[in-house]
Amino acid sequence: MKWYLMPVLISVGFAQDPTAKFEVASIRSSPPGQGGRDWGPQSIDATPETLVVRNSRLTDCIKWAYNVQEFQVSGPSWFSDSRFDISAKAAKASPESEMRLMLQGLLADRFGLALHKQTQEKQVLVLTVAKGGHKLKAVEKEGSPSFRTGKLNLTGQGATLGQLTTFLAGELRVPILDQTGLTGRYDYFLDINSFVTDEIRKSMPRDGPPLEGPGIISRAVQEQLGLKLDSAKAPVDILIIDRANRVPSEN
């Protein structure tokens, strides 16, 4: 079966809104932990008035600012060598889309970040709703969604499908395009342990999913979540980094 897919569309344009700026912002290097390069958990938390970034790579900041996935950012290798803490406050309560625009401007101002968009053909996995409908529980929840991972399982509470696809894409090292049309928050639980045989466990790498990961996860996703993962080729929008400074300008 041949798929005809729309490109992944970056949710905001590249023409900066000069009025979308934080009132105050501080950027500092995150100090490594005792492991030397172990910075601890990474997080980006936004409220209508504040943005708090902890232990995050420049790639993580770009992903959040432009609302894209990891595979959509093509930058130099040193992007993973440093982590940053950002604390920023807006002059007034603002929607998340505007907070993302503000972070775009902040990265341009403080890191000299310049980039452009390029469309590339890539092998991807396409997420759709399976026949019979999805099995996610829709919830109305305020505050930050909860997304936790365990041993070959994950739990979303008031979480988005974006969190699910971003995690699975990172584990499988394959871009996942969400074409479910499900934009709300949901409770869901995905556990692939019952799909992993003893033979598969013996061959599992220590730092990744089972070698048969895509097939196993696809079956689990369909049976437990009522969603489908299909392989396809699709044009995907990629952010190409033209320029960025390793050290941000002073606060």
| Tens digits of pLDDT across the chain (251 residues) | 233 334 444 333 454 555 679 999 999 998 775 444 566 678 898 889 999 999 999 999 999 999 888 888 999 988 888 899 999 999 999 988 899 999 999 999 999 999 999 998 888 999 999 999 999 999 986 666 788 888 888 999 998 898 899 888 878 878 888 999 998 899 999 998 888 777 666 666 555 554 455 788 899 999 999 999 999 988 888 999 999 999 999 88
Q: Are 80 and 59 in contact (CB under 8 A)?
A: yes
CB-based contacts of 136: which residues, under 8 Å, 6+ apart?
161, 182, 186, 187, 188, 225, 226
Q: What is the H or E stretch that residue 224 is in?
A: none
Q: Are 244 and 112 in contact (CB under 8 A)?
A: yes
pTM of the model: 0.70
